[in-house]
Amino acid sequence: MPLIQLSDEQIDKIVNLSRLLYLEPILSILRYIFVTNYIQNKEHAVSGGLVALPSRGKSEGFGVYGNSSPKFKLVNNITAYAIEKDLMPKIRRGEVSTLAISDLTATLERAEATKKSFINILLGLTEEGITYQKSYVSDVEVKKPIRLQFLYGITPDMLARYMPSFVRSGFSTRFLYVSWDYTDEQVNAILSNKIQQTRGSGVDKAVVPKGSREYFVTIPESFNDRIKIIGKSVVEETNYTYVVKKTVSGPNGNLIEKEKTVEVRVLDPVRTVRDLATVLRAICLCRYLDNDLPREEITVNEEDFAELMRISYWLNLKRHTLTENL
Protein backbone atom coordinates (compact mmCIF):
# COMPACT_ATOMS: atom_id res chain seq x y z
CA MET A 1 0.00 0.00 0.00
CA PRO A 2 1.47 3.41 -0.92
CA LEU A 3 2.55 5.75 1.84
CA ILE A 4 0.64 9.03 1.55
CA GLN A 5 1.91 12.12 3.34
CA LEU A 6 0.68 15.51 4.41
CA SER A 7 1.85 17.97 1.79
CA ASP A 8 2.71 21.64 2.28
CA GLU A 9 -0.52 22.60 0.51
CA GLN A 10 -2.54 20.41 2.87
CA ILE A 11 -0.76 21.94 5.88
CA ASP A 12 -1.64 25.39 4.53
CA LYS A 13 -5.31 24.40 4.39
CA ILE A 14 -5.20 23.04 7.92
CA VAL A 15 -3.59 26.14 9.41
CA ASN A 16 -6.33 28.26 7.83
CA LEU A 17 -8.52 27.01 10.65
CA SER A 18 -8.82 29.78 13.22
CA ARG A 19 -7.76 27.59 16.12
CA LEU A 20 -4.62 26.46 14.28
CA LEU A 21 -3.38 29.85 13.14
CA TYR A 22 0.43 30.17 12.93
CA LEU A 23 1.01 26.53 13.90
CA GLU A 24 2.63 25.42 10.63
CA PRO A 25 6.04 24.80 12.26
CA ILE A 26 4.49 22.72 15.05
CA LEU A 27 2.32 20.71 12.64
CA SER A 28 5.39 20.07 10.49
CA ILE A 29 7.42 18.92 13.49
CA LEU A 30 4.59 16.61 14.56
CA ARG A 31 4.46 15.25 11.03
CA TYR A 32 8.17 14.45 10.93
CA ILE A 33 8.11 12.89 14.39
CA PHE A 34 5.13 10.71 13.46
CA VAL A 35 6.83 9.64 10.20
CA THR A 36 9.86 8.33 12.15
CA ASN A 37 7.64 5.28 12.69
CA TYR A 38 8.19 4.51 8.99
CA ILE A 39 11.99 4.74 8.94
CA GLN A 40 13.58 1.31 8.61
CA ASN A 41 17.11 2.18 9.77
CA LYS A 42 16.26 3.63 13.17
CA GLU A 43 16.69 2.37 16.71
CA HIS A 44 13.10 3.34 17.45
CA ALA A 45 10.57 6.05 16.62
CA VAL A 46 11.26 9.46 18.15
CA SER A 47 9.04 10.58 21.05
CA GLY A 48 8.30 14.19 21.94
CA GLY A 49 6.82 16.61 24.42
CA LEU A 50 4.91 19.76 23.40
CA VAL A 51 5.60 22.49 25.97
CA ALA A 52 3.53 25.65 25.75
CA LEU A 53 1.14 27.83 27.73
CA PRO A 54 -2.59 27.03 27.72
CA SER A 55 -4.47 27.93 24.51
CA ARG A 56 -1.36 27.57 22.35
CA GLY A 57 -2.66 24.75 20.15
CA LYS A 58 -1.13 21.64 21.77
CA SER A 59 -4.37 19.64 21.81
CA GLU A 60 -5.44 20.96 18.41
CA GLY A 61 -2.15 19.90 16.84
CA PHE A 62 -2.49 16.40 18.24
CA GLY A 63 -6.12 16.36 17.15
CA VAL A 64 -5.20 16.79 13.48
CA TYR A 65 -3.27 13.51 13.59
CA GLY A 66 -5.66 11.77 15.99
CA ASN A 67 -8.43 12.36 13.45
CA SER A 68 -6.28 11.14 10.60
CA SER A 69 -4.71 7.83 11.54
CA PRO A 70 -6.04 4.87 13.53
CA LYS A 71 -2.43 4.22 14.58
CA PHE A 72 -2.32 7.59 16.36
CA LYS A 73 -4.09 7.06 19.70
CA LEU A 74 -5.04 10.39 21.32
CA VAL A 75 -6.26 10.37 24.93
CA ASN A 76 -6.77 12.88 27.74
CA ASN A 77 -5.53 10.60 30.50
CA ILE A 78 -4.18 7.07 30.86
CA THR A 79 -2.57 4.72 33.37
CA ALA A 80 -0.04 1.91 33.14
CA TYR A 81 -2.92 -0.51 33.69
CA ALA A 82 -4.74 0.80 30.61
CA ILE A 83 -1.55 0.67 28.55
CA GLU A 84 -0.95 -2.96 29.51
CA LYS A 85 -4.56 -4.11 29.21
CA ASP A 86 -5.81 -2.16 26.20
CA LEU A 87 -2.89 -0.75 24.22
CA MET A 88 -0.18 -3.41 24.29
CA PRO A 89 -2.27 -6.01 22.42
CA LYS A 90 -2.99 -3.38 19.73
CA ILE A 91 0.68 -2.42 19.54
CA ARG A 92 1.62 -6.08 19.05
CA ARG A 93 -0.91 -6.38 16.22
CA GLY A 94 0.39 -3.21 14.54
CA GLU A 95 -2.87 -1.34 15.10
CA VAL A 96 -1.31 1.42 17.24
CA SER A 97 2.13 2.98 16.87
CA THR A 98 1.69 6.26 18.73
CA LEU A 99 0.18 7.27 22.07
CA ALA A 100 -0.47 10.99 22.54
CA ILE A 101 -1.77 12.58 25.74
CA SER A 102 -3.14 16.06 25.19
CA ASP A 103 -2.24 17.16 28.74
CA LEU A 104 0.10 15.03 30.84
CA THR A 105 -0.80 16.91 34.04
CA ALA A 106 -3.79 14.75 34.96
CA THR A 107 -1.69 11.59 34.69
CA LEU A 108 1.15 13.06 36.74
CA GLU A 109 -1.21 14.29 39.46
CA ARG A 110 -2.30 10.78 40.33
CA ALA A 111 -1.05 8.85 43.37
CA GLU A 112 2.73 8.34 43.49
CA ALA A 113 2.52 4.57 42.91
CA THR A 114 0.26 5.06 39.88
CA LYS A 115 2.54 7.72 38.43
CA LYS A 116 5.64 5.58 39.01
CA SER A 117 4.17 2.54 37.24
CA PHE A 118 3.15 4.78 34.32
CA ILE A 119 6.68 6.18 33.97
CA ASN A 120 8.26 2.74 34.31
CA ILE A 121 6.25 1.13 31.53
CA LEU A 122 6.97 4.05 29.19
CA LEU A 123 10.67 3.86 30.00
CA GLY A 124 10.60 0.38 28.50
CA LEU A 125 8.24 0.99 25.58
CA THR A 126 9.92 4.14 24.25
CA GLU A 127 13.51 2.93 24.21
CA GLU A 128 14.63 -0.71 24.31
CA GLY A 129 11.09 -2.03 24.03
CA ILE A 130 9.39 -4.70 26.12
CA THR A 131 10.03 -8.37 25.43
CA TYR A 132 8.82 -9.74 28.75
CA GLN A 133 6.06 -8.38 30.95
CA LYS A 134 4.27 -10.48 33.52
CA SER A 135 1.70 -8.98 35.88
CA TYR A 136 -1.89 -9.46 36.97
CA VAL A 137 -2.86 -7.49 33.85
CA SER A 138 -0.72 -9.01 31.11
CA ASP A 139 1.55 -11.92 30.29
CA VAL A 140 3.87 -10.94 27.46
CA GLU A 141 6.89 -12.81 26.15
CA VAL A 142 7.92 -11.95 22.60
CA LYS A 143 11.08 -12.10 20.49
CA LYS A 144 10.59 -8.72 18.78
CA PRO A 145 10.48 -5.88 21.35
CA ILE A 146 7.18 -4.06 21.70
CA ARG A 147 7.81 -0.35 21.21
CA LEU A 148 5.58 2.70 21.36
CA GLN A 149 6.04 6.29 20.26
CA PHE A 150 4.87 8.59 23.05
CA LEU A 151 3.83 12.23 22.65
CA TYR A 152 2.40 14.55 25.26
CA GLY A 153 1.42 18.14 25.92
CA ILE A 154 2.23 20.04 29.10
CA THR A 155 2.56 23.61 30.35
CA PRO A 156 6.03 25.01 31.19
CA ASP A 157 5.20 25.35 34.90
CA MET A 158 4.01 21.77 35.24
CA LEU A 159 7.02 20.45 33.32
CA ALA A 160 9.37 22.38 35.61
CA ARG A 161 7.59 20.86 38.60
CA TYR A 162 8.11 17.28 37.45
CA MET A 163 11.35 17.62 35.49
CA PRO A 164 13.66 16.81 38.45
CA SER A 165 12.01 13.40 38.86
CA PHE A 166 12.08 12.89 35.06
CA VAL A 167 15.82 13.56 35.08
CA ARG A 168 16.48 11.20 38.00
CA SER A 169 14.69 8.32 36.26
CA GLY A 170 16.14 9.04 32.82
CA PHE A 171 12.63 9.69 31.49
CA SER A 172 13.56 13.21 30.34
CA THR A 173 16.12 11.91 27.83
CA ARG A 174 13.49 9.86 25.99
CA PHE A 175 12.09 12.92 24.20
CA LEU A 176 12.72 15.83 21.93
CA TYR A 177 11.02 18.90 23.38
CA VAL A 178 9.01 21.30 21.24
CA SER A 179 8.17 24.67 22.77
CA TRP A 180 6.74 27.89 21.36
CA ASP A 181 4.67 30.96 22.02
CA TYR A 182 2.77 33.58 20.03
CA THR A 183 3.74 37.19 19.41
CA ASP A 184 1.37 39.88 20.70
CA GLU A 185 0.17 40.46 17.13
CA GLN A 186 -0.57 36.77 16.68
CA VAL A 187 -2.51 36.64 19.95
CA ASN A 188 -4.57 39.62 18.79
CA ALA A 189 -5.31 37.97 15.43
CA ILE A 190 -6.34 34.73 17.16
CA LEU A 191 -8.64 36.62 19.54
CA SER A 192 -10.28 38.34 16.57
CA ASN A 193 -10.82 34.97 14.92
CA LYS A 194 -12.33 33.60 18.12
CA ILE A 195 -14.78 36.51 18.24
CA GLN A 196 -15.74 36.20 14.58
CA GLN A 197 -15.47 32.37 14.51
CA THR A 198 -13.83 32.64 11.10
CA ARG A 199 -12.95 29.31 9.54
CA GLY A 200 -10.93 28.49 6.50
CA SER A 201 -11.73 25.90 3.86
CA GLY A 202 -9.65 23.18 5.47
CA VAL A 203 -10.74 20.29 7.66
CA ASP A 204 -9.51 19.02 11.01
CA LYS A 205 -7.84 16.11 9.28
CA ALA A 206 -4.58 15.42 7.50
CA VAL A 207 -3.47 12.76 5.07
CA VAL A 208 -0.90 10.69 6.99
CA PRO A 209 1.02 7.44 6.40
CA LYS A 210 -1.03 4.34 5.73
CA GLY A 211 0.15 0.76 5.74
CA SER A 212 3.18 -0.60 7.55
CA ARG A 213 5.98 -0.40 4.98
CA GLU A 214 9.27 1.05 6.27
CA TYR A 215 11.90 2.85 4.20
CA PHE A 216 15.69 2.84 4.40
CA VAL A 217 16.96 6.43 4.30
CA THR A 218 20.66 7.22 3.87
CA ILE A 219 22.38 10.19 5.47
CA PRO A 220 25.65 11.00 3.64
CA GLU A 221 28.61 11.20 6.02
CA SER A 222 29.17 14.82 4.99
CA PHE A 223 26.19 15.75 7.21
CA ASN A 224 27.55 14.08 10.36
CA ASP A 225 29.37 17.06 11.85
CA ARG A 226 26.50 19.44 11.09
CA ILE A 227 23.98 17.16 12.78
CA LYS A 228 26.26 17.09 15.83
CA ILE A 229 26.34 20.91 15.87
CA ILE A 230 22.54 21.10 15.83
CA GLY A 231 22.42 18.44 18.53
CA LYS A 232 24.77 20.44 20.74
CA SER A 233 22.61 23.53 20.30
CA VAL A 234 19.38 21.64 21.07
CA VAL A 235 20.89 20.15 24.24
CA GLU A 236 22.21 23.52 25.43
CA GLU A 237 18.86 25.23 24.84
CA THR A 238 16.91 22.46 26.57
CA ASN A 239 19.10 21.89 29.63
CA TYR A 240 18.78 24.68 32.18
CA THR A 241 19.83 25.90 35.63
CA TYR A 242 18.01 27.46 38.56
CA VAL A 243 19.11 29.05 41.81
CA VAL A 244 18.10 27.77 45.24
CA LYS A 245 18.35 30.31 48.07
CA LYS A 246 18.67 29.22 51.69
CA THR A 247 18.97 31.26 54.86
CA VAL A 248 21.39 29.84 57.46
CA SER A 249 22.86 31.01 60.73
CA GLY A 250 26.29 32.62 60.52
CA PRO A 251 29.18 32.17 62.97
CA ASN A 252 28.00 35.17 65.00
CA GLY A 253 24.38 34.08 65.07
CA ASN A 254 23.44 36.40 62.24
CA LEU A 255 21.43 35.13 59.27
CA ILE A 256 23.25 34.57 56.00
CA GLU A 257 21.57 33.91 52.65
CA LYS A 258 23.34 31.30 50.55
CA GLU A 259 22.73 30.50 46.92
CA LYS A 260 23.22 27.23 45.10
CA THR A 261 22.97 26.84 41.33
CA VAL A 262 21.33 23.60 40.27
CA GLU A 263 21.97 22.26 36.77
CA VAL A 264 19.14 20.27 35.20
CA ARG A 265 20.46 17.99 32.46
CA VAL A 266 17.26 17.24 30.60
CA LEU A 267 18.78 15.73 27.47
CA ASP A 268 21.60 13.30 26.76
CA PRO A 269 23.82 14.47 23.86
CA VAL A 270 24.15 11.01 22.28
CA ARG A 271 20.42 10.26 22.32
CA THR A 272 19.61 13.75 21.07
CA VAL A 273 21.92 13.47 18.04
CA ARG A 274 20.51 10.02 17.29
CA ASP A 275 16.93 11.32 17.45
CA LEU A 276 17.73 14.34 15.28
CA ALA A 277 19.26 12.04 12.67
CA THR A 278 16.06 9.98 12.69
CA VAL A 279 13.96 13.14 12.28
CA LEU A 280 16.21 14.19 9.38
CA ARG A 281 15.53 10.84 7.71
CA ALA A 282 11.79 11.44 8.19
CA ILE A 283 12.08 14.91 6.62
CA CYS A 284 13.80 13.32 3.64
CA LEU A 285 11.17 10.61 3.32
CA CYS A 286 8.40 13.23 3.35
CA ARG A 287 10.13 15.07 0.49
CA TYR A 288 10.28 11.87 -1.57
CA LEU A 289 6.63 11.13 -0.91
CA ASP A 290 5.38 14.68 -1.49
CA ASN A 291 7.18 14.88 -4.81
CA ASP A 292 6.35 11.29 -5.79
CA LEU A 293 10.03 10.43 -6.25
CA PRO A 294 11.14 6.83 -6.78
CA ARG A 295 11.35 4.98 -3.46
CA GLU A 296 14.86 3.78 -4.23
CA GLU A 297 18.12 5.01 -2.76
CA ILE A 298 16.31 7.53 -0.60
CA THR A 299 19.05 9.97 0.42
CA VAL A 300 19.15 13.11 2.54
CA ASN A 301 20.12 16.31 0.70
CA GLU A 302 20.76 19.97 1.56
CA GLU A 303 17.06 20.83 1.36
CA ASP A 304 16.28 18.26 4.04
CA PHE A 305 19.05 19.54 6.28
CA ALA A 306 17.84 23.12 5.86
CA GLU A 307 14.42 22.00 7.08
CA LEU A 308 15.98 20.34 10.13
CA MET A 309 17.80 23.60 10.88
CA ARG A 310 14.54 25.53 10.53
CA ILE A 311 12.50 23.38 12.92
CA SER A 312 15.38 23.10 15.42
CA TYR A 313 14.54 26.70 16.38
CA TRP A 314 11.63 25.25 18.38
CA LEU A 315 13.30 21.99 19.53
CA ASN A 316 14.15 23.23 23.02
CA LEU A 317 12.53 24.77 26.11
CA LYS A 318 13.11 28.42 25.14
CA ARG A 319 9.53 28.97 23.89
CA HIS A 320 10.56 30.97 20.84
CA THR A 321 7.70 32.76 19.12
CA LEU A 322 6.20 31.37 15.92
CA THR A 323 7.87 33.95 13.72
CA GLU A 324 6.80 33.87 10.11
CA ASN A 325 10.23 34.47 8.59
CA LEU A 326 11.66 31.04 9.41
Interval 108-167: pLDDT, tens: 999 999 999 999 999 999 988 777 555 544 555 666 788 999 999 999 999 999 999 999
The CA distances from residue 305 to 24, 30, 230, 300, 308, in Å, are: 18, 17, 10, 7, 5
Q: Tell me what pLDDT residue 206 has.
A: 56
Q: Tell me what pLDDT residue 290 has.
A: 87
Q: Tell me what pLDDT residue 260 has.
A: 87
Compute φ and ψ for 185, nearest 5 degrees: -65, -40
Q: Tell me what pLDDT residue 16 has.
A: 45
> Which residue range forms the structural domain that includes residue 82?
8-314
| CATH code of the domain containing 301 | 3.40.50
Query: For the chain, how many structural domains are there in total?
Result: 1
Residue 156: inside a domain: yes
Residue 322: inside a domain: no
State which residues of the chain have pLDDT below 70. 1-20, 132-143, 196-209, 324-326
- β 255-264/240-249 pair status: antiparallel
Q: Tell me what pLDDT residue 104 has.
A: 95
Residue type, 165: S
Name which of 209, 213, 222, 126 is nearest 166 in CA terms.
126
Compute φ and ψ for 253, nearest 5 degrees: 85, -5
Residue 114: inside a domain: yes
Residue 115: inside a domain: yes
Q: Tell me what pLDDT residue 213 has.
A: 87
Residue 1: inside a domain: no
> How crowded is the C-beta side of 232, counted as CA atoms within 13 Å?
6
76 exposed, middle or buried (CB, 10 Å; 0-12, 13-18, 19+)?
exposed
Q: Tell me what pLDDT residue 92 has.
A: 87
- Give the global pTM: 0.86
CB-CB contact of 177 with 266 (8 Å): yes
Residue 326: inside a domain: no
Total number of residues shown for the chain: 326
Residue 320: inside a domain: no
Residue 309: inside a domain: yes
